[in-house]
């Protein structure tokens, strides 16, 4: 290791405000240069962040400088997502992955886990596909869960789908990246 730069609520010129237990850094993904300054940027999950004091979670798009410090950020949470889709303790931000440009608008998109989402049954979990603008801010989303997103998998209560997320490449050959979601408490039927 040549050097390191910590980013937290007290280091790295990061000006977000946190409460104890927000779990900033629970997940991290490289997202390319979303702000157009030729420097790679990152998405960081804080799955228990207290947006509206209910622990529904947040994802921070952090614009990095050449020194590895924050040159600014955009927070994605229930307050700025269309329709305020998150409920208390959904743990949005438990997993985050760069899935390329899914909707072909020229911008990076993200898959974000919310493993305590209650669609269908308690704590089934969900994955949100987050569409970003050209500056890396939230544009819109699509939810994949037991009851949303045309997902036909069989869910069981408390399976925690979306605790982790990843990108698999284009497995089905439709030119769109495919996503995998962990469900560590799935009982297999």
125 burial (CB, 10 Å; 0-12 / 13-18 / 19+) is buried
| Predicted confidence band of residue 75 (pLDDT cuts 50, 70, 90) | very high
- Structure confidence by residue, pLDDT tens digits, 89-141: 999 999 999 999 999 999 999 999 999 999 998 999 999 999 999 989 999 99
Q: How far apart are CA 187 and CA 160, in angstroms?
A: 11
Q: How far apart are CA 21 and CA 1, in angstroms?
A: 29
Which residue in 153, 151, 109 sits closest to 129, CA to CA? 109
- Structure confidence by residue, pLDDT tens digits, 98-110: 999 999 999 999 9
Q: Which two tokens stand for residue 19?
A: 């409460």
User: Which residue, chain included where needed, has tokens 């297999």?
Assistant: 188
Residues β-bridged to residue 145 = 126
Question: Quick check: 161 and 180 in contact, CB under 8 A?
Answer: no
């Amino acid at each position: 290791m040549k050097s390191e730069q910590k980013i937290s609520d007290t280091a790295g010129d990061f000006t977000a405000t946190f409460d104890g237990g927000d779990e900033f850094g629970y997940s991290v993904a490289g997202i390319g240069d979303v702000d157009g300054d030729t420097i790679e940027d990152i998405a960081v999950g804080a799955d228990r962040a207290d947006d509206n004091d209910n622990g529904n979670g947040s994802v921070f798009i952090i614009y990095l400088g050449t020194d590895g410090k924050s040159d600014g950020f955009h927070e994605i949470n229930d307050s700025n997502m269309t329709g305020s889709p998150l409920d208390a303790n959904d743990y949005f931000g438990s997993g985050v992955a760069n899935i390329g440009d899914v909707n072909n608008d020229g911008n990076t998109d993200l898959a974000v886990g919310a493993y305590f989402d209650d669609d269908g049954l308690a704590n089934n979990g969900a994955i949100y596909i987050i569409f970003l603008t050209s500056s890396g801010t939230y544009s819109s989303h699509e939810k994949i869960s037991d009851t949303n997103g045309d997902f036909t998998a069989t869910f069981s209560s408390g399976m925690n789908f979306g605790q982790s997320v990843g990108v698999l490449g284009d497995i089905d050959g439709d030119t769109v990246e495919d996503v995998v979601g962990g469900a560590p408490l799935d009982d297999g039927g």
